[in-house]
Amino acid sequence: MQCVPFKLVSPNSRTYSKAYDRHKIRVSSKQRALNVLLVVGDCVLVGLQPILVYMSKVDGKFNFSPLSVNFLIEAAKVLFAIVMLLFQARHQKVGEKPLLSISTFVQAARNNVLLAVPALLYAINNYLKFIMQLYFNPATVKMLSNLKVLVIAVLLKFIMRRRFSIIQWEALALLLIGISVNQLRSLPEGTSAMGLPVATGAYIYTLIFVTVPSMASVFNEYAMKSQYDTSIYLQNVFLYGYGAIFNFLAILGTVVVKGPSSFNILEGHSKATMLLIFNNAAQGILSSFFFKYADTILKKYSSTVATIFTGIASAALFGHTLTINFMLGISIVFISMHQFFSPLAKVKDEQQNGITELRDVPEKLKYVLSLSLSHTHTHTLTPSGQSVRNSFG
């Protein structure tokens, strides 16, 4: 499996942390390389997932409790984060704030208490997934969860004050449509847009099912970036520490309700399931890099590209034929991706920035420049140009 590098331009965003803004200006040249690295890493980990799932099954099903897996994944993430923190602390330069001092830890913990919010939302989401499968068939759940892309964009607009151009909104709609077209064949025959098998109250579950993970991602991005000066390794320790606590509380709750027989965290695991847990933990750690150094939308595109390459790889390896749905779907996704990250899609925004930066230009010239920068009819340019010559020349 390979991930071809594609043009990535970091999406435009508004001020919410001065440290993050300083970072943006400093490393904007390195941003593309980092983005490509993140996407390639994501592709590899997501690509390994179905292989590990296949290896983890015994007689076609899992032997372990799904409840325990969530806790073990969170615990593995904390372990990863601590190992990376120790590694980072050993390579600190002289004069940098010590990563492992108690005062640093306490101060960072106080500053990053906001990370408990996404951790709680993620924990809730893990249980929602099970509930949803009682109400919808898996293909419908998949189809509905595509709506997350648009919910995330709306949340980014209001929480992160990010601005999207019309072309970018359309690109996100196309991403949603492209993924749906790819999944069309898996829907039960004869399902119509108006005839989705929705029970009363299922609409509310759908709304919650789509909104909770979207809010988790966006709050995660917000919390990560708003404390930009805190080391990401420390932030990971907090985020996944909270996650492990919430998941452990859920297990304790189950023990109280169902009795101690359900307290079987380590039952039914093999080497393959351990690899599966480690792969999921690595995906989690990687996603926090996405949220801090890139953004939630890039993460979404990355997951989609990973799914596409997994599809192509499995077709190549196991000799499946690629359906027309798949071909049409990935065409839409790639057009969407190109449009979302195209500089053309945010031309208006850049030009507005351009105008605000003309501080040292004479008033008359400013007027001409603003005329030329705005999208008015180009014929108005020549008379303005002439009047400028009359004044200056």
Binding site for a copy of itself (CB under 8 A): 165-167, 170, 173-174, 177, 180-181, 184, 187, 191-195, 321-328, 331-332, 335, 338-339, 342-344, 347-348, 350-351, 353-354, 357-362, 365, 368-369, 372-373, 375, 378-379, 381-382, 385-386, 388-389, 392-393
Of 133 and 387, which has the nearer Cβ to a copy of itself?
387
Of 154 and 184, which has the nearer Cβ to a copy of itself?
184
The CA distance from 370 to 218, in Å, is 35
Lookup: tokens for 53 = 């799932």
- State in angstroms the smallest separation of the CB of 23 from a copy of itself: 17
Of 107 and 380, which has the nearer Cβ to a copy of itself?
380
- State in angstroms the smallest separation of the CB of 335 from a copy of itself: 5
- State in angstroms the smallest separation of the CB of 315 from a copy of itself: 9
- State in angstroms the smallest separation of the CB of 312 from a copy of itself: 12
Of 13 and 342, which has the nearer Cβ to a copy of itself?
342
- State in angstroms the smallest separation of the CB of 175 from a copy of itself: 11
Judge whether 182 and 330 are in contact, CB under 8 Å: yes
The CA distance from 325 to 245, in Å, is 42
- State in angstroms the smallest separation of the CB of 229 from a copy of itself: 25
**Alpha-carbon separation of residue 33 from 3, 8, 37, 39, 336 (angstroms):** 14, 9, 6, 10, 21
- Spatial CA neighbour of 291 closest among 5, 6, 7, 13: 13
374: number of Cβ within 10 Å = 12
What is the DSSP code (8-state) at residue 325? H
Lookup: tokens for 308 = 């596409």
Amino acid at 297: I
Of 170 and 268, which has the nearer Cβ to a copy of itself?
170
Judge whether 325 and 276 are in contact, CB under 8 Å: no
Amino acid at 142: K
Of 14 and 375, which has the nearer Cβ to a copy of itself?
375
Of 108 and 179, which has the nearer Cβ to a copy of itself?
179
Of 90 and 377, which has the nearer Cβ to a copy of itself?
377
Judge whether 232 and 224 are in contact, CB under 8 Å: yes
- State in angstroms the smallest separation of the CB of 15 from a copy of itself: 17
- State in angstroms the smallest separation of the CB of 367 from a copy of itself: 12
Lookup: tokens for 267 = 């039952």
- State in angstroms the smallest separation of the CB of 144 from a copy of itself: 12
- State in angstroms the smallest separation of the CB of 275 from a copy of itself: 33
Which residues are CB-neighbours of 12 under 8 A, at least 6 positions away? 162, 163, 346, 349, 350
Query: 166-171: long-range contacts (C-beta < 8 A, 24 or more apart)?
Result: 167/339, 167/342, 167/344, 167/345, 168/11, 168/339, 168/340, 168/345, 168/346, 170/339, 171/336, 171/337, 171/339, 171/340, 171/345
Which residues are CB-neighbours of 145 under 8 A, at least 6 positions away? 209, 210, 213
Of 98 and 383, which has the nearer Cβ to a copy of itself?
383
Of 7 and 57, which has the nearer Cβ to a copy of itself?
7
